[in-house]
Amino acid sequence: MKRLLKHLKKYTLESILAPLFKLFEAALELIVPLVVAVIIDDAIGGGDKGYAVILSLVLVLLGLIGLGFSVVAQYCAAKASVGFITSVRTSLFSHLQTLSYSDVDRIGTSTMITRMTTDANILQTGLNLSLRLLSRSPIVVFGAMIMAFTIDSYAGCIFAAAIPLLSVIVFGIMIITMPMYKRVQGGVDKILGRTRENLAGVRVIRAFGKEDDEFERFKEENSLLTKQQKRVGHISALMNPLTYAIINLALILLIDVGALRVNSGNLTQGEVIALYNYMSQILIELIKLANLIITITKALASASRISSVFDITPTQAFGDRTKGVDNTPAVDFNNVSLSYNGGENSISGISFKAEQGETVGIIGGTGSGKSTLVNLISRFYDATDGEIYLFGAPIKEYTKSALTSKIGVVPQKAVLFSGTIRDNMRWGNPDAKDEEIMAALKIAQAEGVARDKGGLDGKVEAGGKNFSGGQRQRLTIARALVSDPDILILDDSASALDFATDAALRAAIKELKNKTVFIVSQRASSVMYADKIIVLDDGECVDIGTHEELIARSPIYKEIYESQYKKEAAV
């Protein structure tokens, strides 16, 4: 919680003024029953209409002043809560950007989205109501009790007995429901994850006719969440009827005692009305407080969930190196292994060197560890065993910006962002000129794509949905080239291209000087002209060599090559 409260420091003044002006409003509200008592006993009882009019105007004035105090309090509370949650979201988003792939895998995408949206909204509402009501309601409740004692100590005992009993109910329900609300929010995470998965894979679901199965799975998880919400809702729902019952019993007792004391001359009619009004104020404020407690309980649960993300320390630490060592291999793997989150090794004992300017092909069957290997080069993950050297220095010694500038990555899934083609191309180099962008598009065989979409100002929808798969792949390759990296990683990034375009792309990339290129592919045709080919099988490097060498001595590579070329010949 301390980590979150620091975001409220910029709004310290508003956080003080909001409850302060609510206290002023509460003080005025406590004066009103006394004025009403004077109107009844002195003005109306004495037949002085002028005095009654003056006191009525005093009530109107108190109401107007109270309204002004309330408006100021509302404004300050809104400004503080909105500013606070804006700062929290910004900081949370920035923190998430520092997490490694392993951290993100462990947390889960749906969980992060829930923290940024639902939990943040609940926390904002809780803070807003707390600033306005958390101090006001108790002041009105205990102030009404004190005022009741000043009117009549005997009647005040009724207040003194009712308030502790009400407090036990309110805070008891809060203690019971707080952990239950945490479980409910956990259920929301699961529902969000299920919904996200179904929306992302809707074409596959329909292609296999699995709509009914997915609906049943969603229905089952949603029913579980509904049961949890009902359970906590049933307990929370007890608050209002229990508080109403106690307050109404206290009112009945108060009227009964008040009537007897009026008859005995110990109380006036106006004082009984004042006591009734104070009890009504307590009823209203306790109902507000009861609802506020429920909101605060939810907010605290959400705050705890957001804090838990902040508590995650990034597992990756970067050094201060910006340059490598001259005349050294671009990439050097020394007995490298990786296991995801402590499971079995995805790759084991990988050792190879890629010289500067070399083109390295990586081939293997599905699940052989091809993407895992190149993810280690770009340091999306850290090796669990072994050492990786980049330009002669351990990869962990480089700054994050140095790695980003040296390595250009084209991932398996081509992702573009909403904006223009120019905006997307400048991700790697914000200062890139149009000529540089067009040169990169030419190498990536994407000149025609840009031209057909209206040039560099052509619109790109979120995710690049207005482009075909092959167009997206070519644009993402161009985006990586614009940054002019020393190492270019193409992770199966030409799978949607036809053979002619793929061949033209590889030929254009081969013309690039002093760039080390890693081509990950399941196509033998994509890697056969590489200077060096790494053959992976079940996470292990089974052979390294040129196409001719591997054809002669590697059964796995030969099988991949012949199976593909026989199929092509048959077609």
Tokens of 243: 């508080």
**Domain membership flag for residue 41:** no
With tokens 């008859």, the residue in question is: 263
Crossing angle, helix 12-38 and helix 136-151, to 10 degrees?
30
pLDDT of residue 174: 74
**Domain membership flag for residue 44:** no
Q: Does 87 share its domain with 206?
A: yes
**Domain membership flag for residue 34:** no
Q: Is there a contact between 21 and 73 (Cβ–Cβ < 8 Å)?
A: yes
Can you give the CATH number for the domain in which 399 is found? 3.40.50.300
Q: Which of 279, 310, 341 is the last residue of a domain?
A: 310
User: For 63, how many CA atoms within 13 A lie in the half-sphere containing its CB?
Assistant: 8
How far is the C-alpha of 533 from the C-alpha of 520, rounded, in Å?
10
How far is the C-alpha of 55 from the C-alpha of 42, rounded, in Å?
10
**Domain membership flag for residue 66:** no
- Which residue in 327, 434, 316 sits closest to 375, CA to CA? 316
Q: Does 448 share its domain with 338?
A: yes
**Rg from Cα positions in the chain:** 35
Q: Does 272 share its domain with 375?
A: no
Burial 212-238 (b: 16+ CB within 10 A, else e): eebeeeeeebbeebeebbeebeeebee
Range of the domain at 101: 82-310
Q: Does 233 share its domain with 276?
A: yes
Tokens of 544: 């390294």
How far is the C-alpha of 419 from the C-alpha of 302, rounded, in Å?
33
How far is the C-alpha of 483 from the C-alpha of 493, rounded, in Å?
17
With tokens 């049961």, the residue in question is: 227
Helices (H), 99-135: 101-107, 109-114, 120-129
10-residue averages of pLDDT along the chain (571 residues)? 82 91 88 85 78 88 91 93 92 87 78 85 91 84 82 78 80 79 77 79 82 86 88 83 82 80 80 82 77 82 86 85 89 91 84 92 88 90 91 91 89 88 88 90 88 88 86 90 91 81 86 88 86 91 92 90 65 40
Q: Does 428 share its domain with 462?
A: yes
Q: Does 285 share its domain with 335?
A: no
- Which residue in 115, 137, 82 sits closest to 292, CA to CA? 137
DSSP string spanning 411-475? -SS----SEEHHHHHTTS-TT--HHHHHHHHHHTT-HHHHHHTTGGG-EE-GGGTTS-HHHHHHH
Q: Is there a contact between 142 and 30 (Cβ–Cβ < 8 Å)?
A: no
**Domain membership flag for residue 424:** yes
Q: Does 294 share its domain with 368?
A: no
> Measured at the alpha carbon of residue 463, what is the angle toward residues 459 and 464, in degrees to the nearest 5?
40
How far is the C-alpha of 296 from the C-alpha of 298, rounded, in Å?
5
Tokens of 340: 């995801």
Q: Which of 264, 281, 310 is the last residue of a domain?
A: 310
**Domain membership flag for residue 6:** no
How far is the C-alpha of 218 from the C-alpha of 224, rounded, in Å?
10
Q: Does 250 share its domain with 342?
A: no
Can you give the CATH number for the domain in which 204 is found? 1.20.1560.10
Q: Does 386 share its domain with 273?
A: no
Q: Does 303 share its domain with 335?
A: no
Q: Does 397 share its domain with 483?
A: yes
How far is the C-alpha of 488 from the C-alpha of 407, rounded, in Å?
6
How far is the C-alpha of 38 from the C-alpha of 34, rounded, in Å?
6
Q: Does 406 share its domain with 551?
A: yes
How far is the C-alpha of 287 from the C-alpha of 149, rounded, in Å?
22
- Work out the burial of residue 173: count CB atoms within 10 Å of its CB; fewer than 13 is exposed, 13-18 middle, 19 or more buried: buried
pLDDT of residue 5: 83
**Domain membership flag for residue 16:** no
The tally of domains found in the chain comes to 2
Which one-letter DSSP state was computed for residue 546?
-
How far is the C-alpha of 48 from the C-alpha of 50, rounded, in Å?
6
Q: Is there a contact between 543 and 350 (Cβ–Cβ < 8 Å)?
A: no
**Domain membership flag for residue 45:** no
> Measured at the alpha carbon of residue 285, what is the angle toward residues 282 and 289, in degrees to the nearest 5?
130
